[in-house]
Chain A
């Protein structure tokens, strides 16, 4: 159940709508959406999937990007709540993973093994078109959404779709395709950067993602820009972790 105040909700919706700015970065934006939804719902994991031109759902952002969770998003190309939400344009809520084996055999098993108890998916809609879905995982029984919660989260998913596509700027289908391709390609840059950092520092790709995201935040830089810099600039590749000395971390953590 969502217990946020009206003020908190208003703040989130303003943040979601505020995309017509020069500093807009599609990767940061997609991650921000997943984090706001996780914050609102208390869900342990939230992810976003977008459909490519052939209708394949691609994972583009998650509150966490560990291998187990990413696999849960990826298998939904074949089956799962996101695919259902994407196809029907309707939210899938309060699906109990304990009894979902008939509906989604592979997904339900993987999700249950990962420790999740329930799952929800909200289609990302723009007028009649569905471009993807937001995926929310629950860890506790009884964390079900009521009708109001569902309506609120669906409104948030729809607002995020408009924001992501910057649809207010120009209302034409071609722009939608352009933006969608841009979002999907940005995701590929992150994967390449994860590999580069993992190799350069001898760490896993999960930790590499955290390092990249933390570096971007600490230095107030766009995620796409940092990821791209990691590919082209070996010095930045080193700095992403090198700057994480205890001294600097402590200085940065100070309020």
Chain B
């Protein structure tokens, strides 16, 4: 459903996959806007995609002010769901909150783009009305966060390993995928995110499923440091 909604967004020159993701998320979540900010362990910070100019300003404002749900989602490593900005205590985001309110924002939902220790940034969803993400909306938002994460990972690879290929499709073998990620990180001496990029690229190049590759790594049939191909 999510992939369809992303593909339904017309692509024009200059609009990358991430721009289509935030546009689709805005629609699917009945939001006023959605934005992606990249934040990494190495200190990289920046707005990557925003559905509209106001959302872009809201995203940038968090970096300027150094506070906001986006920061909290990143540092606390969990979603920060604010169904009513006015309902928050005044000492929570003393600068960000009134500024967002004045821009007409009433609710913010921030989702860390993370998988375990790997952190790539945050997906922010804004609404002009108060209220929680209801029913399936939370699951939908988390699925969009996952697609966003995949898009960011594959962007590192020039070749790209296919648009919205789910990271979590490994089903029963999820644990092995993460264990293999930790192993590949050590094999190659690269950061944890890079390990996932390499595993995905390998799986794509060899026409194999990510979980199959992961199981070979865990069983020590495949070593990325040794078997360079």
Interface on A for B, CB 8 Å cutoff? 53-54, 58-59, 70, 74-75, 77, 173-175, 177-179, 181-182, 185, 188-200, 205, 227-228, 231-232, 237
Query: Are the C-beta atoms of B186 and A192 separated by less than 8 Å?
Result: no
Selected contact of A205 from candidates B112, B118, B181, B218, CB within 8 Å: B218
- On whether A199 and B175 interact (CB within 8 A), knowing A177-B79, A177-B81, A185-B114, the answer reads no
Contact, CB under 8 Å: B139 / A189: no
> Closest Cβ of chain A: how far from B109's Cβ, in Å?
9
Residues of chain A within 8 A of B10, CB atoms compared: none
In the complex, what residues of B have CB within 8 A of residue A189's CB?
Answer: 116-117
A191 contacts B178, CB within 8 Å? yes
- Assembly CA distance A23 to B15 (angstroms): 45
* Chain B residues in 8 Å Cβ range of A174: 81-83, 132
Give A200 to B183 CA distance when docked, in angstroms.
8
- By a beta-carbon cutoff of 8 Å, the part of chain B in contact with chain A is 41, 76-83, 112, 114-118, 132, 138-139, 142, 171-172, 174-175, 178-187, 192, 218
Q: In the assembled complex, which residues on chain B have CB atoms less than 8 Å from the CB atom of A191?
A: 116, 175, 178-179, 182
Closest approach, in angstroms, between the C-beta of A18 and any C-beta of chain B?
21
Task: Establish whether residues B172 and A182, one from each chain, have CB atoms under 8 Å apart when the complex forms.
Answer: no
Cα of A5 to Cα of B211 in the assembled complex, Å? 47
Q: How far is the CA of A107 from the CA of B163 in the complex (A)?
A: 35
DSSP majority for the A interface? helix
Q: Which of A179, A182, A196 contacts B182 (CB 8 A)?
A: A196
CB–CB A237/B186 < 8 A: yes
26 interchain pairs (CB within 8 A)?
A: A70-B175, A173-B132, A178-B78, A178-B80, A181-B79, A185-B77, A185-B115, A185-B116, A188-B116, A191-B175, A191-B178, A192-B116, A193-B117, A193-B182, A194-B179, A195-B180, A195-B182, A195-B184, A195-B185, A195-B186, A196-B183, A196-B185, A197-B182, A199-B183, A231-B192, A232-B41
A178-B80, A192-B178 known, 9 other contacts, Cβ within 8 Å: A74-B175, A177-B138, A178-B78, A195-B184, A197-B182, A198-B182, A199-B183, A227-B117, A232-B192
